[in-house]
Amino acid sequence: MPTTADISRDRGDPVAIGVVVMVTFGALWSIAPLFVLPVSEPALAALIAMVVAGAVSVLVALHLRRTRRVRTTRRVSPSAGRTFHLVNLAQTVLIIGAVLVLGRTGRSGLIPVVTCLVVGLHFLPLAWIFDIALYWLTGSLLIAAAAAGGIGYAAGLTEPAILSIAGFSATTILWTTSLMTAKHG
């Protein structure tokens, strides 16, 4: 049975840590298509500016959260830390397994789709573990982004197009979630 526990800064503020992780992975998703797409210099400059502006805005919101001393009481299970680590271990194993299997079977276009799906699925137990209702929506939207990428794959879109669908969707979802979490706790 979960008990009420205050997530405090003394334990590293897991919510703030989660915000930084979402900003980081959102940035990685946003630049991943650059490795496979031909991009003009102005477009590249605009994309880099977008990545920097997005990351800075979320980090500023996180800083404001810390300076305003936003404290949120959440219902967190005493085993939350262990469950969190197991969820992330499962996510890592599934993504690595998907990369290996899909890469070796000639279906590398599905790697971003499956990765986005697994990341979305991993948010569902995190919503329960940390009592953050927004994570239910985040997970659902990432799963929908994966489905859109899967439809693109089935329709014969190129790998860069599929990566762009999953990547830019994931960036938008993760940064929006991190901004809202930083602002509201």
- Residue 108 has what DSSP assignment? G
pLDDT digits (tens, 9 = 90+) for 132-173: 899 999 999 999 999 999 999 999 999 888 998 998 899 999
Q: Would you tell me how many other CB atoms lie within 10 Å of the CB of residue 166?
A: 30
In residues, how long is the chain? Answer: 185
In whole angstroms, give the CA distance from residue 135 to residue 150: 22
Helices 41-67 & 14-31 angle (0-180, nearest 10): 180
In whole angstroms, give the CA distance from residue 21 to residue 160: 25
- Find the mean pLDDT for residues 89-113: 94
pLDDT digits (tens, 9 = 90+) for 19-35: 778 888 887 887 777 76
The candidate with the shortest Cα–Cα distance to 95, out of 142, 158, 47, 153, is 142
Q: Is 7 left (phi over 0), alpha (psi -120 to 50) or beta?
A: beta
C-alpha angle 148-132-23 in degrees, rounded to nearest 5: 60
The amino acid sitting at 21 is: V
**Full residue range of the structural domain in which residue 68 is found:** 3-184
The amino acid sitting at 116 is: C
Number of domains making up the chain: 1
| 68 vs 132: which has the higher pLDDT | 132
pLDDT at residue 14 tops 50: yes
Beta pairing partners, 74: 5
C-alpha angle 47-146-16 in degrees, rounded to nearest 5: 65
pLDDT digits (tens, 9 = 90+) for 50-60: 778 777 777 77
